[in-house]
Amino acid sequence: MSEINTQKKIFPNTSFDAHSTKRISYIVITKNRAAILDDFLTRARELVGPQDELIVVDGASEDGTKKVVQKYADIVDIFISEKDRCANEACNKGILLSSGKYIKLLLDDDIYYRDAMEKAAEVMEQHPEVDMLVCGGTKEIYGTDTAAYLSGENTAKAGKIVTSYLPPGVNYGKDITDVFRYRAASSFGHFVRRKSHALGGLMSTWEGDMEYVLAFIKNGANVKFCRVKMYHHIQSPMSPEAYERWHKKSRNLIYTVMKRSVPRMWYYKFRINKFLKEHPFLYWPAKLYWKCAGVLLRMKKGVEKTSSFKVKEKEYIWDGGFS
């Protein structure tokens, strides 16, 4: 009769992070953009550190993407090439394959700054209670993109550079409406603790980066805007008309997400305000009325007016603090 092994197994490291074999998992998604990917991977040599990993998720390209990736085999740790239904599905594959303590999703046509990544990792190390950083950066736009439309910015000038930045005092992430009030939720600036996906979840297959941040906040994750200039988004060449059509579809989707996420009265107030801004002959009388009503209400309650969160470019302070 064989003896039963009763020796107890010892588990010295019982935390999730103790089993992360890499520091930052950089995940880039691509499809049929071999030349663009080639340029990106050249820049990635300066971005990916020795403690990090680079994962390339390709949607079954037919343009020589595999040869390009092979050219950079010294920095690419994982490469998969298979069909996926959308970009977010590709991102989720990369997250599931990753082994880093932190996740950074990348787009193959954008510029990312190594110093900013180092700063973001340092901030996360100093603040283990934070699940997701939403970092700042710049973006080239052709018309009124979705984020600008939601925040009420006038960005109709073709080729304009806009900055994603929030000053101290905003306390971003305290409420789910922050995702729609500020342009900060774009995926270019996300820097996420990998284990926090157990709470916040993966990217919604169809609803994009705003839904990603929204789900983290809704599920109780600690999301902070960090004053780190992390990226420059270069808009893919397209006509202003095509740009507007693309973002019109995006706005409709965002409104669907907004309606089922935020308080009903906040949603209706937001939509009414957007309608009035699109019809100036109604907007200015309504604005004057509500301004006067607000002054009277504050006088009655003895409440001082809060300062505006709008800042000029010369006031941008990239100090790694929370906003």
Q: What Cα–Cα distance (Å) separates residue 113 from each residue in 84, 101, 106, 135?
A: 29, 19, 12, 12
- Burial label for 78, CB within 10 Å (0-12, 13-18, 19+), is middle
Q: Is a pLDDT exceeding 90 seen at residue 141?
A: no
Q: Is a pLDDT exceeding 90 seen at residue 61?
A: yes
DSSP 140: E
Q: Is a pLDDT exceeding 60 seen at residue 18?
A: yes
Which band of pLDDT confidence, cut at 50, 70 and 90, is reported for residue 91? very high
Q: Is a pLDDT exceeding 90 seen at residue 123?
A: yes
Using an 8 Å Cβ cutoff, are 178 and 145 in contact? no
Residue 2: HSE in the Cβ half-sphere, 13 Å Cα cutoff: 3
User: What token pair was written down for 87?
Assistant: 């970009």
d(CA 145, CA 272): 19
N- to C-terminal Cα separation, the chain: 68
Higher pLDDT, 69 or 305: 69
Q: Is a pLDDT exceeding 50 seen at residue 246?
A: yes
2-11, 135-144, 291-300: range with highest mean pLDDT: 135-144
**CATH code, 19-109:** 3.90.550.10
Residue 303 pLDDT: 47
**What are the phi and psi torsion angles at 208 (to 5°)?**
85, -170
Q: Which residues contact 75 (CB under 8 A, 6 or more apart)?
A: 41, 44, 45, 48, 54
d(CA 258, CA 214): 10
Using an 8 Å Cβ cutoff, are 46 and 114 in contact? yes
Q: Summarize pLDDT for 198-214 with one digit per residue, the tens.
A: 999 999 876 677 889 99
Q: Which residues contact 194 (CB under 8 A, 6 or more apart)?
A: 20, 25, 95, 98, 100, 101, 102, 103
Work out the percent of the chain whose per-residue pLDDT is above 90: 54
Q: How do the domains of the chain map onto residue ranges?
A: 19-109, 113-274+312-323
Q: Is a pLDDT exceeding 50 seen at residue 136?
A: yes
Mean pLDDT of the chain: 82
Higher pLDDT, 171 or 11: 171
Q: Summarize pLDDT for 25-42 with one digit per residue, the tens.
A: 999 999 999 999 999 999
Residue 306 pLDDT: 44
Residue 191 pLDDT: 97
Which band of pLDDT confidence, cut at 50, 70 and 90, is reported for residue 189? very high
DSSP string, 73-130: TTT--EEEE---SSHHHHHHHHHHH--EEEEEEEETTSEE-HHHHHHHHHHHHH-TT-
For residue 139, what are the β-bridge partners?
Answer: 162, 233
Task: Give the residue from 205, 209, 221 showing the smallest Cα distance to 184.
Answer: 209
Q: Summarize pLDDT for 256-284 with one digit per residue, the tens.
A: 778 888 888 887 777 777 766 666 665 56
- Burial label for 151, CB within 10 Å (0-12, 13-18, 19+), is middle
Alpha-carbon torsion 201, 202, 206, 211, what sign?
positive
For residue 134, what are the β-bridge partners?
Answer: 190, 225
